[in-house]
Amino acid sequence: MSAVVSSGATPQEKVSFSLWQLALRRFKKNRLGVVGFWILAVMYFIALFAGFFAPYAIETQHYQSPLQPPQPIHIVHEGGLRLPFTYPMNVTRDPVTFEKNYAEDKTNPQTIKLFAKGEEYNLLGFKTNLHLFGIENGFYFPLGTDKLGRCLFSRMVVGSQVSLTVGIIGILISFSIGILMGGISGYYGGWIDMLIQRITEVLMSFPRLPILLALSYVIPANWPSTYVYLGIVAVLAFIGWAGLARVVRGLVLSAKSVDYTQAAKALGASDLRIILRHIVPNLTSYLIVTASLAIPGYILGESALSFLGLGVKEPMTSWGILLAEVREGGFGVLTRTPWLLIPGGMIILSVLAFNFFGDALRDAADTQTRN
Amino acid sequence: MLTFLLKRSLGILPTLLVVSFISFWVIQLQPTSFIDTYLEDPRFSPETVERLKIQYGLDQPVMVQYFNWLWGIITRFDLGYSFVNNRPVTSLIGEYLWWTIEVAGLSLIFSWLIAIPLGIFTAVRKNGLVDSVASFFGYIGLAIPDFLLGLLLFSLILGFGGTNVGGLFSNEFIDAPWSWAKFWDHLNHLWPAILVFGLNHIASLQRQMRASLLDVLNQDYVRTARSKGLAERIVTYRHAVRNALNPLVSSAGFSLSELVSGTLIGAVVMNLPTLGPFMYSSLLAKDQYVVMSILLLSAFMLMIGNLLADIGLAAVDPRIRYD
């Protein structure tokens, strides 16, 4: 409908904007929201081409360098400027504690090459060995390694595929159920409304985390990791739809009594047409905003489950799993192996970005309060 | 009011019944049970395992087991038997419940003491420096998982040479009788937990308070109060804050249950003797009656929280009347 308005406007008249264009304008004014959007765009882009951005495969164990600290990038070698390079790490053992100590080998600079050849991997169905960066001799671990000597940066990049998609897929599932249930409940009323309302009531009377834990423990431990992943998403979505169904029901109830819906009904429009053409368009902005604000809950939920060992499992990896390794190492992490906490930073960053983005969307979609 | 109370309380019962069934059913879905693990133990003959099953009623059909459990709860407040601890669940949960309520209650008080004044201040000085800083930290507070916060805090404490990490007592005090030294030790273990749970809660509470007060400050009666020539201080605290607090006061019961179950993972990391970690360890040990009971109990607490919220709302806001 809005498209008709804007295309019908003659050029010499004042240009009129559709609702979506107005919302986009308001959104662009919110700087934090735009920043959030770009952070997310970059994160999802990297997740999509994770194999390319990760220098090594996530399961490759570099036995010679477990728990190696991150290798800094330098540009000055022996007083002279060079292309960005890194020094390999030399291992020495403390004679008393037998702890491994890493020190940079300042005599052997290794230039970091862009588009370097490395391990072969599968990129969107194609086999290739091209990586964004790498060095020719030895190994370069930008964020250090874990206790098995696996590259933390690679694991984090590949792990983002799990952590970032859990929210999207989870929302798709829970919104489909929520909208369907809420829509049926609000539109048809009667006994089916009663039934659905009771179901949502029961679901909502369980606190989220305990029931999440109990349900995720149902997933058999001997399933392949992709099934476990889907199972976790399903569990998260199953908990999430009830609240949405309630709100959708309320919105449908109010949209049902509006004059244009009544008019459509009087004209003999079918139920499906009324729902799809007259009711759903009124809900879209609300649903988009709710979705973007609900995704952080899924990201946090997945990381929490994986952290406890009830979520996604090896050989898959996620930010939660990476943090679980920190927990195994005890509380001395901040002094001994602080780089292992970086995946936690990614969780915070992605949730922050979603919150910024969602808040800005909500303000942009809000047509009631205008400044 | 009394009829409303009665109606709402009775309304909980059918939901609670369904909740109890789901709690039971979720556990029945688990791939293995505790008794099954005996089968792998060479010290137990299959006959012994069979006898144990009969003793605990686990040989009966699932529905019979469920009704036995339910009947025990209704008639004797008997939540079942913990196989791991060899004790009735009810007395076990009683112990954990006490610490749970202590930690959650103190966290609630702590977060209120910080968040309400902060919320008022940021609403009155909207878009000021404090407001920006608070909203920045608020965003972070909402984004940082409690388990990560707990981990960081404990690493920090250890880094500064502290030893008060994990649990609510040092080892030597766990079974000792109460004394000042034990109390002091307890406080030392308590504050990190309260800080971690409180900080997460402050973030959302401060935002609510700010939004609520801003709403009220825009209303006509506040303008009237100002135009009467009342001092700004009186307008804010006597007229606006009182009403702005209503939705928050009424949701305190709800936040308490949130502080009990929402902090489960943080509590696991901090090794607190509260219900969440107890449920987690029992889940891993397949101690089914404990898990079922804690699920049921936490749902019950949430419902009571909602009920208290409704009652609280009716109590503080004379405009709301339920019939």
- pLDDT score recorded for residue A35: 92
Within 8 A of B268 by CB-CB distance, chain A residues are 308
Q: Does B299 touch chain A (CB under 8 A)?
A: yes
Q: Does B120 touch chain A (CB under 8 A)?
A: no
* Segments of chain B with pLDDT less than 70: 1, 317-318, 320-323
Tell me if B66 sits within 8 A of B273, measured CB to CB: no
Tell me if B181 sits within 8 A of B208, measured CB to CB: no
Calpha distance A101→A150 (Å, rounded): 17
Shortest CA distance from B297: residue in chain A: A206
Calpha distance B84→B289 (Å, rounded): 10
Calpha distance B273→B173 (Å, rounded): 14
- pLDDT score recorded for residue A367: 63
Calpha distance B84→B105 (Å, rounded): 29
Shortest CA distance from A208: residue in chain B: B262
| Per-residue pLDDT reduced to its tens digit, A312-344 | 887 888 998 888 888 777 777 777 788 888 899
- Which ranges in chain A belong to alpha helices (H)? 2-8, 19-29, 31-48, 50-53, 152-188, 190-204, 208-216, 225-256, 259-266, 271-273, 280-307, 319-328, 333-336, 342-365
Within 8 A of A215 by CB-CB distance, chain B residues are 26
Q: What are the φ/ψ torsions at residue A115 (nearest 5 degrees)? A: 50, 55
Tokens of A218: 């149902």
Calpha distance B48→B54 (Å, rounded): 10
- pLDDT score recorded for residue A368: 55
DSSP result, B115-179: HHHHHHHHHHTTTSHHHHHHHHHHHHHHHS-HHHHHHHHHHHHHHTT----SSSS-GGGTTSPP-
Within 8 A of A295 by CB-CB distance, chain B residues are none
Q: Which of B139, B258, B268 sits opposite A355 (nearest CB)?
A: B139
What is the distance of C-alpha B187 from the center of its chain? 20
Q: Which residue bears the tokens 């539109």? A: A187
Size of interface A-B (CB pairs under 8 A): 124
Tokens of A114: 């862009």
Put simply, the answer to whether B147 touches A323 (Cβ < 8 Å) is yes
Per the DSSP assignment, residues forming a β-bridge with A114 are A133
Within 8 A of A198 by CB-CB distance, chain B residues are 15, 18
For chain A, the residue count is: 371
If one counts every other C-beta atom within 10 angstroms of the C-beta of residue A14, the result is 5
Give the minimum alpha-carbon distance from A114 to chain B in angstroms, rounded to a whole number: 34
CA distances from B74 to B12, B16, B79 (A): 15, 12, 9
Q: Which of B139, B165, B264 sits opposite A209 (nearest CB)?
A: B264
For chain B, the residue count is: 323
Tokens of B243: 């009403």
Tokens of A43: 């994160």
Tell me if B276 sits within 8 A of B150, measured CB to CB: no
DSSP result, A244-275: HHHHHHHHHHHHHTSHHHHHHHHTT--HHHII
Put simply, the answer to whether A207 touches B258 (Cβ < 8 Å) is yes
Q: Which of B183, B193, B201, B186 shows the shortest CA–CA distance to B277?
A: B193
Give the minimum alpha-carbon distance from A204 to chain B in angstroms, rounded to a whole number: 9
Put simply, the answer to whether B152 touches A334 (Cβ < 8 Å) is yes
Calpha distance B105→B253 (Å, rounded): 10
Give the minimum alpha-carbon distance from B214 to chain A in angstroms, rounded to a whole number: 14
Give the minimum alpha-carbon distance from A314 to chain B in angstroms, rounded to a whole number: 18
Within 8 A of A339 by CB-CB distance, chain B residues are none
Q: Which of B131, B133, B111, B132 shows the shortest CA–CA distance to B122?
A: B131
- pLDDT score recorded for residue A238: 87
Tell me if A203 sits within 8 A of A246, measured CB to CB: no
Q: Which of B251, B253, B258 shows the shortest CA–CA distance to B197?
A: B258
- Which ranges in chain B belong to alpha helices (H)? 2-28, 34-39, 46-56, 62-76, 89-124, 129-143, 146-159, 180-217, 220-227, 232-234, 242-250, 252-261, 264-269, 275-284, 288-316
Put simply, the answer to whether B26 touches A331 (Cβ < 8 Å) is no
Calpha distance B272→B265 (Å, rounded): 10
Within 8 A of A334 by CB-CB distance, chain B residues are 152, 155-156, 158-159
- pLDDT score recorded for residue A370: 46
Tokens of B85: 């601890």
Q: Residue A145 has what DSSP assignment?
A: B
Amino acid sitting at position B33: S
Tell me if A94 sits within 8 A of A101, measured CB to CB: yes
The secondary structure element, H or E, covering residue B322 is none
Calpha distance B155→B62 (Å, rounded): 46
Put simply, the answer to whether B158 touches A296 (Cβ < 8 Å) is no
Contacts with A, B 148-167, CB within 8 Å:
148, 151-152, 154-156, 158-159, 165-166
Distance separating the N- and C-terminal Cα atoms of chain A: 26
Calpha distance B258→B190 (Å, rounded): 19
* Segments of chain A with pLDDT less than 70: 1-14, 366-371
Put simply, the answer to whether B294 touches A323 (Cβ < 8 Å) is no
Q: Does B13 touch chain A (CB under 8 A)?
A: no
